[in-house]
Structure 1
Amino acid sequence: MYIGPSPEIQKILRQNAKDRQIEVDASKMELDSSAPQVAYYLYEEIKDYQAKLPNTEDVAMSLVQFNQNITILVNDIGSIGSNLICFHGTDTSGKPLELVQHVHQLNFLLMVVPKTAPEIPKRKIGFLGGDEDEL
């Protein structure tokens, strides 16, 4: 059972939330709301958000699903067919996670979490679409 971040991490997250806001550029998203298009748009937004962070921080997705709060460090984003989005990554303890969600039910928060090892380069987030493994 996931119990959430420690009080120290929560304090850092609250301060980070005060210090920055995310601005979504809806002009990037075409009228096509198929899963591959939405997955690529989300990939671009997460990649842009991550690029703005210092090396001591990383981007994560916070979801409230199944009566619990889940934090995912996304490694790859892809799609299945025309209506399912797939997020592959880990939770904050390193356990692998895969979230498959319908394109019309997407609801998550991009958030900042402290990196466990600031000396390690930023994670490279991949886009899984067609014949491309990563952009």
Structure 2
Amino acid sequence: MTEIRTTAEAQEEAALPRAKVVHTASDAPQTAEVKPLPPELTREPPEDKSPAQWAYERVLLYIQNFEEQLKEDEEVVLGLTGGEAGVLQIEGIGFFDPDILTFYGTDEYGARTQLIQHVNQLNVMLIAQPKLPEDEAPRRIGFRLARALEEDSKAQKTPPKQEA
């Protein structure tokens, strides 16, 4: 049977990003693909975003979702794929339009580290590792980044002040 949709429904469906996930375990935790997008990410249509901005926003969702599943004594690190560079304790993420993502942090030896990645080469592995004992509470970078995204969104809505 053919489903009939209005033009508005078809346009809305085309504008929404599509995602899907299948897990082997029926009790697997919810993942970023099936959760609703935060309002900050839906204010600007995906087709108006650069590949870097869109990749950046989705990586934030994956990190935040991963962190929601961590134990209190764990933190997320980024496993650098495609080489033997090790891991990076994420301390910041940025993008530079149209096609660059940057991950800032420290490696397993405490050295300051920055990964500059073209969106076409994006391979990120999130790893749960024990947090350092001297850290009183685990750092949750995904939630900080989401908060920054919200603040950026609010700042874009506020018209600049005009001087008299």
Which bracket does the TM-score occupy, shorter chain normalised? 0.5 to 0.7
Count of matched residue positions in the alignment of Structure 1 and Structure 2: 111
1:25 aligned residue: 33
Which SS does the other structure have where 1:39 is aligned?
helix
Which deviates the most, 46-55 or 110-119? 110-119
2:57 aligned with 1:46:
no
Q: How does 1:110-125 map to 2 (within 5 A)?
A: 110-117=126-133, 120-125=136-141
Q: Which residue of 91, 96, 116 corresponds with 1:100?
A: 116
Query: TM-score by structure 2 length?
Result: 0.56
Instruction: Kindly provide the amino acid, as one letter, of the partner of residue 119 in structure 2.
Output: V
- Unpaired runs of 5+ in structure 2? 1-27, 153-164
Q: Which runs of 4+ in 1 moved over 2 A?
A: 20-24, 26-33, 126-129
Q: How does 1:4-83 map to 2 (within 5 A)?
A: 23-25=31-33, 28=37, 30=46, 34-65=51-82, 67-83=83-99
Q: Counting helix residues as a fraction of each chain, which structure ranks higher?
A: 2
What is the alpha-carbon distance in structure 1 between the residues aligned to residue 30 and residue 126 of structure 2? 8
Instruction: Kindly provide the amino acid, as one letter, of the partner of residue 99 in structure 1.
Output: L
Q: Counting strand residues as a fraction of each chain, which structure ranks higher?
A: 1
Q: What do you get for the CA RMSD once the two structures are aligned?
A: 2.9
- Unpaired runs of 5+ in structure 1? 1-19
Aligned-residue offset at 1:118: 7.2
Percentage of pairs with the same residue? 23
Aligned-residue offset at 1:79: 0.3
Structure with higher RCO (Cα < 8 A, 6+ apart): 1
Would the aligned equivalents of 1:60 and 1:112 in 2 still touch at CA under 8 Å?
yes
1:16 aligned residue: none
Q: 1:22 to 1:72 in 2, by over 3 A?
A: farther
Larger radius of gyration: 2
Aligned-residue offset at 1:111: 1.1
